[in-house]
């Protein structure tokens, strides 16, 4: 979604299912180009394709983790949207932001472990609905100059 919205600098912390990589030759291809009629899907070299995502128990790519930590420590405001805030190390990013002086705004239907310890504000509600309301308010302020 971020890329479809035009964002070019996106850290896919847990990866995505849009791409697969061969476990033997490292060939990378789009999921749409893989024959999923045969499981597991195979590369031309005979190796098995796997999605470019992090499964439970696997480590986050070190470059993604390092960059996420750096950006978290450098931000002024962090929006924490639609998360349980229990999966580590992702749940640590708002803590890093807070410790570095950022305001942390949590948008979730319910409180999370971050609510009392880290968040400056909790906006309770469905993430999509709340973000749409925020966007509408920002657009209104831009149009009216106030």
* Residue 115 and residue 80 share a domain: yes
* pLDDT by 10-residue block (mean), the chain, 146 residues: 80 88 95 89 94 90 94 97 91 97 97 96 95 93 88
* Residue 97 and residue 73 share a domain: yes
**Residue 9 placed within a domain:** no
**Residue 8 placed within a domain:** no
Q: What's the pLDDT score for residue 35?
A: 86
Q: What's the pLDDT score for residue 1?
A: 73
Q: For position 130, which CATH number holds?
A: 3.40.50.1220
Let me know if 38 is a catalytic residue.
Answer: no
Strands 15-22, 49-53: pairing is antiparallel
Catalytic residue among 14, 20, 38, 140: 14
* Residue 117 and residue 69 share a domain: yes
**Residue 2 placed within a domain:** no
Q: What's the pLDDT score for residue 37?
A: 87
Q: What's the pLDDT score for residue 51?
A: 94
DSSP, residue by residue, the chain: -TTTTT------TTEEEEEEEETTT--EEEGGGS-TTSSS-B-TTSPBEEEEEPPTTSPPPHHHHHHHHHHHHH-SEEEEES--S-STTGGGHHHHHHHTT-EEEEEESS--HHHHHT-SEEEES-HHHHHHHHHHHHHHHHHHT-
pTM over 0.85: no
* Residue 101 and residue 44 share a domain: no
Q: What's the pLDDT score for residue 5?
A: 81
> What is the residue range of 96's domain?
62-144
Count the domains in the chain. 2
Listed in sequence order, the residues at least 6 apart from 90 whose beta carbon sits closer than 8 Å to its beta carbon are 13, 14, 60, 68, 83
Q: What's the pLDDT score for residue 118?
A: 97
**Residue 1 placed within a domain:** no
Q: What's the pLDDT score for residue 56?
A: 85
* Residue 114 and residue 71 share a domain: yes
Phi, psi of 142 (to 5 degrees): -65, -45
């Amino acid at each position: 979604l971020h890329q479809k919205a035009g964002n070019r600098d996106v850290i896919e912390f847990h990866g995505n299912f849009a791409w697969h990589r061969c476990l033997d030759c490292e060939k990378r291809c789009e999921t749409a180009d893989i024959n999923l009629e045969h499981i597991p899907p195979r590369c031309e070299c005979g190796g098995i394709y796997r999605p470019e995502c992090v499964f439970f128990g696997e480590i986050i790519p070190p470059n993604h983790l390092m960059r996420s930590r750096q950006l978290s420590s450098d931000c002024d405001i962090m929006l924490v949207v639609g998360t349980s805030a229990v999966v580590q190390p992702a749940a640590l990013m708002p803590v890093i932001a807070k410790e570095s002086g950022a305001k942390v705004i949590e948008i979730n239907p319910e409180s999370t472990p971050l609510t009392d310890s880290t968040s400056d504000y909790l906006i309770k509600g469905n993430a999509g609905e709340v973000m749409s309301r925020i966007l509408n308010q920002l657009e209104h302020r831009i149009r009216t100059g106030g």
